[in-house]
Chains A and B, each alone.
Chain A
Amino acid sequence: MKSYFTRKLVTYGLTFFVAVTIDWAIPRLMPGDPIASMLARASLQDPQQAKAMVAYYNETFGFNTPLWQQYLNFWVQLLHGNLGVSIWLFPTPVVDVIMRALPYTLALLIPAITLSWIAGNKVGALAARRKVLDNTVLPVSYLLTATPYMWLGILLAWVFGSELRWLPLSGGYAFSVSPSWTWAFVHSAFWHWLLPFLSLFLVGFGGWAIGMRNMIIYELESDYTHYLEALGASQRLVRRYAFRNAMLPQLTGLALALGVIVAGALVTEVVFSYPGLGYLILQAIQNEDYFLIQGTFLFIILGVLVANFAIDIVYVIVDPRTRAGMQGSRG
C-alpha cells in the first residue's frame, strides 16, 4: 500500500510542478506583452495600489530580474498564497476573487459528481439485469452522454427558465438578496442552483449508467460467476460480487474523468451566468485579466489533484488487494 500511495503522490507532485511551470512559462512565450499594457492602464487609475501589482509583476515577470529568479519568485509568491492582484477587479487580490466564486462551483460539482456516479451505477446495474429497463435506460443514457454539457444547460435553461418559467434562468441568486446566511438567500440560491446542478447531473448520469451496465454484464459473464452459479450460490451473492468488482473500474474512471467534469461545470456556469469559477474565467478572459486567469488555472489544477487523491484513498478501501500490497488490477 505504501508503494501505491508513493507512486500517486509522486505523480501528483510532478503534475503540480509541471502545471505551475506551464502557468509561469506561457505568458513569456506569447507574442506581444499584454501584461505591460495592462499595468500601464492600471497605474493610471490608482498609482498607490498599482505599486503592489507592479512589484509583483517585476518580481515574477520583470525584465530586470533574471529568468530563473523570476521562476523562483513565482513559486515563493505561490507558497505565500499570493497569486497577484486582479486587473479587472483591481485592487482585489486574485485569491480573494477566486475564494468568492469557489463555493458556488463546489456546490455544483460535489453533489453532481457524487450523486450522478452513485445513481448512474445503481441504475446501470439494474439495467444489466432487467431487459425491460435496459431497453429504456440504454438509449437515453447514450443520448445524455453524447450531449455537450453546455447544450444540456441551454436546453434546460430554455425549457424550464424561458418557456415554462418555473426556474430562474441565470445568476446565483436573485438580485434582491445578497450573500448571507439568511433564509431568503439560501432559498433563492437553491432555486438558482437547481438547473445547473441538474444539467451536470444528467450528463454524468448517462455516462456512468452505460459504463456500469457494461461492466456488470462483463462480470456476470466471467468465470467466477459461472463457478458460483455451478455451486448453486444465491443470485444475491452473484450480484453482490459482480457489483463490487464492477465498481473498481468505475472508480478509476471517475478519477480519469475529473478533468472533463470540471470543464463541464465551468461551461455550465457560463450558460447560467452562475457565479462560480467558470463564469469567473469567462469574465476574466473578456476583460483580459491574465493574473486572474492564471490564478484560477492553478486553483483548478490543485482541486483536481486533491480530488484525484481522495479517489485513490477510496479505491484503497474498496479494493482489498491494494491493502495486501498488490497492484489493484484484475488477476
Chain B
Amino acid sequence: MALAVDDLKVYYRTLQGDVRALDGISFGVGDGEIVGLAGESGCGKSTLGKSLVRLDGRMRYVEGHVTLDGEELPVWNTNDMNRFRFKSISLVPQYAMSALNPTRRIGRMIEEVLESKGVSFEGLSPEIERRLELVGLSAEVLGMFPIELSGGMKQRTVLVLSTLLNPSLLVADEITSALDVSTQKAVARALVDFRRRGFVNSMLVITHDLAILHEISDSIVVMYAGRLAEKAPAETLVHSPRHPYTQLLISSLPMMGARFSERRLTGIPGRPPSLLDPPAGCRFRDRCPVAFAKCAEQPPVVEVDSGHQVACWKAA
C-alpha cells in the first residue's frame, strides 16, 4: 500500500468555531494506482489533498495517521514534512496558473528550487527538457517569464516541475478545472503517461469532474461533507454504485445523446450540511431518498466487495 490514510481529521479555525472540513476519513492508494477523489464543493477533498502535503494557515490537524510507503508522514509538523515534500510526495496545485514567481525566468526558478533542496540543476537539465517535450512544451520555456505563457502551458510546466524528482505519490488538486476541454484531455493523458513511464508511482487526482476520473483512474473515492461515502474501482462506481449519494451523482450527469424528453436532467435537491456544527449520524440523511430511522447513527465503512467500500446502512 503506497498511501494509507487512517481516520484523518483536519478542521478549519474560524471566528465562529471549528469547521470540520475533514472529519475522519480512511482509505488507501495502492502501489502504482491512480485514485480519483470526487465530491461536490466543500466535501473536503481539497482539504484532504492539501493536508497531505502542507497545511494551510487556517487548517488545524486534529487526529489521524498518514503513512506513505510504510513511513509515517508527520503532517502536523510543517518543518518535519519538508524532507518528504517534492521528493516523496508532491503537489500539483489548483492555482497552477499563478504558482510561478512572476519575476523569475522559469529555468532560473527551477534551478533555485532544486538547489535549495540540495539537488543539482545541471544534472537534471537534460531530463527537464525531455519531460517538457513530452507534455508538448519546447525547452525555450525555461528562458521565459510566466507572463509569456498561456494558462495551459503554465499548467503543464507546473506538472513537469512537481513530478521532476519522481515522487512516490502525486496529489493533483483540480488541475483540469480551469482548462478548456481539449487541454483537459491533454493534461489527463499526460498524467497517465507519467505513471506509465515511472515518473510517479501513485496518484491522487482530486476533481469534481467524474468524467475525467472515469477516464484515467483505477479507483474512485466519493466524499460527502467531510466523510467517505463510497470507494470502488472506477467502472464499478460509475455503472453500479451502491451509495445513494453516488447513485444520484451519476444519474445527474448529462448523458451523450440523451434527449430531454426521454431523460430528465435531475440534480440532487438540498445542500450539504454546515460543517461548523454538523448533524449527528449520516450527513447525507436530509437529502437521501432512502433514509430511514437507523441513519440517525453514523454508518461505518463496510467493504461490500473486493476494493469496494460503502458507508451506508442500506448499501451494506
Q: How far in angstroms is the closest Cβ of chain B from A127?
A: 18
Does B252 lie at the interface of the complex (its beta carbon under 8 Å from any beta carbon of A)? no
Number of interface residues of B (CB under 8 A): 34
Does A245 lie at the interface of the complex (its beta carbon under 8 Å from any beta carbon of B)? yes
Q: How far is the CA of A99 from the CA of B269 in the complex (A)?
A: 81
Of A226, A236, A331, which contacts B95 at CB under 8 A? A226
Contact B103 A245 (CB under 8 A): yes
Q: A223-B95, A230-B91 are in contact. Are A326 and B102 (CB under 8 A)?
A: no
Contacts of A76 in B (CB 8 A): none
Contact A237 B93 (CB under 8 A): no
Contact B158 A331 (CB under 8 A): no
Q: How far is the CA of A174 from the CA of B146 in the complex (A)?
A: 59
Contact A223 B117 (CB under 8 A): no
| Chain B 77-120 near chain A by CB (<8 Å), digits 1 or 0 | 01001111111001101011011111111000000110011000
Q: How far is the CA of A15 from the CA of B96 in the complex (A)?
A: 43
Contacts of A319 in B (CB 8 A): 103
Q: How far in angstroms is the closest Cβ of chain B from A134?
A: 16
Contacts of B101 in A (CB 8 A): 224, 228, 241, 245
Does A222 lie at the interface of the complex (its beta carbon under 8 Å from any beta carbon of B)? yes
| Chain B 228-255 near chain A by CB (<8 Å), digits 1 or 0 | 0000000000000000000000000000
Of A223, A232, A326, which contacts B93 at CB under 8 A? A223
Does A286 lie at the interface of the complex (its beta carbon under 8 Å from any beta carbon of B)? no
Contacts of A34 in B (CB 8 A): none
Contacts of A230 in B (CB 8 A): 53-54, 85-86, 90-91, 93
Contact A248 B103 (CB under 8 A): yes
Q: How far is the CA of A211 from the CA of B285 in the complex (A)?
A: 51
Contact B100 A227 (CB under 8 A): yes
Does A229 lie at the interface of the complex (its beta carbon under 8 Å from any beta carbon of B)? yes
Contact B147 A331 (CB under 8 A): yes
Q: How far in angstroms is the closest Cβ of chain B from A148?
A: 36
Q: How far is the CA of A311 from the CA of B225 in the complex (A)?
A: 54
- The chain A residue sitting closest to B143, CB to CB, is A324
Contact A232 B95 (CB under 8 A): no
- The chain B residue sitting closest to A220, CB to CB, is B57
Contact B102 A330 (CB under 8 A): yes
Q: How far is the CA of A270 from the CA of B102 in the complex (A)?
A: 45
Contact A232 B82 (CB under 8 A): yes
Of B99, B102, B103, which contacts A227 at CB under 8 A? B99
Contact B112 A237 (CB under 8 A): yes
Does A176 lie at the interface of the complex (its beta carbon under 8 Å from any beta carbon of B)? no
Q: How far in angstroms is the closest Cβ of chain A from B170?
A: 12
Contact A326 B145 (CB under 8 A): yes
Within 176-233 of A, Cβ neighbours of B (below 8 Å) are at: 222-224, 226-233
Does B47 lie at the interface of the complex (its beta carbon under 8 Å from any beta carbon of A)? no
Q: A232-B82, A232-B84 are in contact. Are A331 and B116 (CB under 8 A)?
A: no
Contacts of B98 in A (CB 8 A): 222-224, 331
Of B81, B82, B116, B147, which contacts A321 at CB under 8 A? B147
Does A244 lie at the interface of the complex (its beta carbon under 8 Å from any beta carbon of B)? yes
Within 231-260 of A, Cβ neighbours of B (below 8 Å) are at: 231-234, 236-237, 241, 244-245, 248
Q: How far in angstroms is the closest Cβ of chain A from B285?
A: 36
Q: How far is the CA of A230 from the CA of B78 in the complex (A)?
A: 10
Does A111 lie at the interface of the complex (its beta carbon under 8 Å from any beta carbon of B)? no
Contact A232 B86 (CB under 8 A): yes
Does A139 lie at the interface of the complex (its beta carbon under 8 Å from any beta carbon of B)? no
Contacts of B202 in A (CB 8 A): none
Contact A237 B113 (CB under 8 A): yes
Does B162 lie at the interface of the complex (its beta carbon under 8 Å from any beta carbon of A)? yes
Contacts of B54 in A (CB 8 A): 226, 229-230
Contact B145 A324 (CB under 8 A): yes
Contact B113 A321 (CB under 8 A): no
Does A47 lie at the interface of the complex (its beta carbon under 8 Å from any beta carbon of B)? no
Q: How far in angstroms is the closest Cβ of chain B from A202?
A: 31
Residues of B at the A interface (CB closer than 8 Å) are 53-54, 78, 81-87, 90-91, 93, 95-96, 98-105, 112-113, 116-117, 145-148, 158, 161-162
Please, could you name 15 A-B residue pairs with CB atoms under 8 Å apart, sorted by A? A223-B95, A224-B99, A228-B113, A230-B54, A230-B93, A231-B162, A232-B85, A232-B117, A234-B116, A237-B112, A245-B101, A320-B103, A320-B105, A320-B145, A321-B102
